[in-house]
Amino acid sequence: MKKRYRVEVHDLIPKKKEKLMCNSTNLVVLSGYVGNVSEVRQTKTSGKDVLDFSLAVQPKPRRDKDGNWIDQEPLWVKVVCWNGTAEYVEEHAESGKFVEVTGVLAQPEEYKSKKAKKHHARAVIHAQSLNFIDVVKKSAEDEDF
């Protein structure tokens, strides 16, 4: 038999000078197209294998004021892979290949754009798992189905 617990609202309200502690979740799942892929290198301090690649994530299209659909610019994310995952990515990743990445969000990385010479922040994901997915483009014959 399952135990049932009853929680009263006043139990959730912190008492004087108590801090309410909450655990937060940091899990990100993204899918997109591989951009540039670096080579596997070792960290200076621990000697662990590390590799990073850029991932283009396409946001949902939006409508303009006339009601036409407009594709938005892709969001570029830096994906960092460690140890065995880094070696796997080095073997299988190619620019333009579709991939699904599950990982954790890390501190954003600042960079200066070459054209506009402005400072930007880029999201960084530390990959925990990834799947390369073969994308089959529809032909004109397939659209009848």
Residue of 96, 79, 77, 81 lying closest to 41 (CA atoms): 81
**The dihedral of CA 112, 104, 26, 131: what is its sign?**
positive
- CA–CA dist 90, 53 (Å, integer): 10
Tell me, what amino acid is at 18? E
Distances (CA, A) of 123 to 46, 107, 111: 24, 7, 11
DSSP 2: -
Residue of 26, 81, 20, 32 lying closest to 60 (CA atoms): 32
Task: Report the Cα 78 to chain-centroid distance in Å.
Answer: 8
pLDDT at 134: 86
- CA–CA dist 51, 86 (Å, integer): 5
CATH code at 31-61+70-134: 2.40.50.140
- Please state the domain extents for the chain: 31-61+70-134
pLDDT of the chain along its 145 residues, tens only?
Answer: 555 555 554 455 555 555 656 677 889 999 999 999 989 999 899 999 999 999 999 988 888 888 888 888 888 999 999 999 999 999 989 999 999 999 999 888 777 777 766 666 778 999 999 999 887 766 656 555 5
